[in-house]
Amino acid sequence: MKASTQRSDRQRHGGRDAADTPPSGDAAPADAAARFVDGYLAYLLAQVSNRISCEFHREVEAAGLSVTEWRVIASLVGSRGETIGALSEATLTKQPTVSKVVLRLETGGLVVRLRNRKDRRQTLVSLSARGRRLADGLVARALRHQTAVLAPFGADNAAQLVRMLRTLLALHPPGGIDDASEADVPRRPARARATTKSR
């Protein structure tokens, strides 16, 4: 229910044909009209993130995990227990999805769910022995892959890249999703607020 209707009126094309211009193949000969996205940071980040990840996802699937499952597992490596909420943030997946994936992983014997004694609302998820074994193998491969990816840059540049990414992370706190601080004004598309609340 985003833009316009959802009906699929047209059968086949309306009939109009394109003039002649072949779309941007890769290198435009004369009309060097660059696509906007090719210089857009968010696009570059998304593309790079996706391509790097996808390369490794082959190994993930070979291990019998879905991408979301791998993200959850990976987020648990080196941790003593993560809440559903923390996993949601770490895996870039909405909370209900994480709840379900974790449940699936638990029945699969890869993770364990406990209750936090300090706050009995939260569910603490951690790797089972079997989950840790599986994770260790994948993590080793992941690090090898990462090394290969960063290799072309040399240690210094690679380190700087990682440093800049970390800086960006620190500069842009998560949770831009739900924000209802001033609970009075219901919904205002108004002026963009850059001040992300930290939690």
| H or E element in which residue 125 lies | strand 123-127
Kindly state the smallest distance separating residue 194's Cβ from a second copy, in Å: 4
Q: Which is nearer to DNA, 113 or 132 (CB)?
A: 113
Q: Report d(CA 81, CA 115) in Å as an integer.
A: 10
From the list a second copy, DNA, none, pick the one residue 138 interacts with, judged by a Cβ distance below 5 to 8 Å according to partner type.
none
| H or E element in which residue 73 lies | helix 67-76
Closest CA to 102 of 130, 89, 78, 83: 83
From the list a second copy, DNA, none, pick the one residue 183 interacts with, judged by a Cβ distance below 5 to 8 Å according to partner type.
DNA
Kindly state the smallest distance separating residue 166's Cβ from a second copy, in Å: 7
Kindly state the smallest distance separating residue 46's Cβ from DNA, in Å: 13
Q: Does 67 bind DNA (CB under 7 A)?
A: yes
Please compute Rg for the chain using Cα positions. Answer: 22
Q: Does 120 bind DNA (CB under 7 A)?
A: yes
Task: For the segment 100-129, give every residue that binds a second copy (CB under 8 A).
Answer: 103-110, 112-118, 120, 123-124
Stretch that binds DNA, among 92-100, 126-134, 139-147, 160-168 (CB under 7 A): 92-100
From the list DNA, a second copy, none, pick the one residue 95 interacts with, judged by a Cβ distance below 5 to 8 Å according to partner type.
DNA
35 Cβ neighbours under 8 A, 6+ residues apart: 24
CA 146 to chain centre: 17
Q: Does 132 bind a second copy (CB under 8 A)?
A: no
Task: For the segment 155-174, give every residue that binds a second copy (CB under 8 A).
Answer: 157, 160-162, 164-169, 171-174
Strand, coil or helix: 126: strand
Query: How does strand 111-115 pair with strand 82-83?
Result: unpaired
Q: Report d(CA 53, CA 13) in Å as an integer.
A: 36
Q: How many residues bind DNA (CB under 7 A)?
A: 33
Q: Report d(CA 84, CA 12) in Å as an integer.
A: 46
Q: Which is nearer to DNA, 37 or 148 (CB)?
A: 37
Q: Does 74 bind a second copy (CB under 8 A)?
A: yes
